[in-house]
Structure 1
Amino acid sequence: MVMMGIGRMVVSLKSKLRSLKTMKKDYDKVEKSESMRVEIRSRKARKLIERTLKIADSPTSKTFAF
């Protein structure tokens, strides 16, 4: 008896999940322009430089001067 109840519950959950998947709104993927790509790269570069300087300026960092 309990197995049949669990089976029905699983089937109802699967159908609810399927209905949720179909309710998702589709959207058009925006293609990145060259200027967007440059902006993303420059942001990543700034973050990398910021992290590097923070480590270099830290009094506890073990950096080597070559």
Structure 2
Amino acid sequence: MKLYRFLSADDTSGFCHKVTEALNKGWALHGDPTYAYDHANGVMRCGQAVVKEVEGTYSPDMKLGEQ
């Protein structure tokens, strides 16, 4: 099955570390990153979709970050 996650965070090195961790756990980049201003919090935010092929059957109870 194919899993999908959308990673997001403030525009800091923490976001890059989050994406790097996912890549090192076997996730692959999917599409282009996004970058937008969060008016409510006054910060820039980044986002990146990632996908991963795994064995098994999908369940909404899965913790995708642990796959």
Bin of the TM-score, shorter chain as denominator length: under 0.3
Q: TM-score, normalised by structure 1?
A: 0.25
RCO comparison, higher one (Cα < 8 Å, 6+): 2
Judging by fraction of residues, say which structure has more helix: 1
Judging by fraction of residues, say which structure has more strand: 2
Q: TM-score, normalised by structure 2?
A: 0.24
Greater C-alpha Rg: 1
